[in-house]
Amino acid sequence: MSANSADRLPQLDVVLVKAGRTKIRYTGELLADDGTRLAVRAPWAGSGVRDFGFVRFEPGDVFTEYYWRDRWYAVKEVRSGTGALKGWYCDVTRPALRTGSELVVEDLDLDLWRSADGSDVRRLDEDEFAESGLGDSDPQAASAALAALDELESLARGGGFTALLA
């Protein structure tokens, strides 16, 4: 085994599930797992460029993703290929489940964006969440999801991501 292979971080397959189907699956490097929070680094896993109008995700971007086993969200720090911070993209999810080298996260439609300078904080996809029917099919999960979005917005507006992700 070479010195380089000994320095490699463990690989983890991240599986994002939505409405019972795998939305995307990609491999990242497991940076840390303390039993509650996991940190994973992965390149932009989408195909081509995704332009939201307020941010562009594109080949070369690097995501450092934080998942919790006891929280209803994931926070993804997004950097360009040159290392410049673009901001944080947050997914409201059920708590993460890790089995071996696989991390499964169920997306609950709600998202939040915070730009690098904090001037742009926006809630996303609230219409999709309402249309999902989660409020009727699982009111407790819907309540937890909305509370998670409120918490993320408060952290984003107060500059709380630095402490959360430290």
The answer to whether 28 touches 42, Cβ cutoff 8 Å, is yes
**pTM score, whole prediction:** 0.92
**């309402």: which residue's tokens?**
130
- pLDDT by residue for the chain (166 residues), tens only, comes to 444 555 688 999 999 999 889 999 999 999 999 999 999 999 998 888 999 999 999 999 999 999 999 999 999 999 999 999 999 999 999 999 999 999 999 999 999 999 999 999 999 999 999 999 999 999 999 999 999 999 999 999 998 998 999 9
In a domain, 164, yes or no: no
The answer to whether 108 touches 129, Cβ cutoff 8 Å, is yes
Domain count, the chain: 1
In a domain, 141, yes or no: yes
In a domain, 142, yes or no: yes
| CATH label of the domain that carries residue 91 | 2.40.380.10
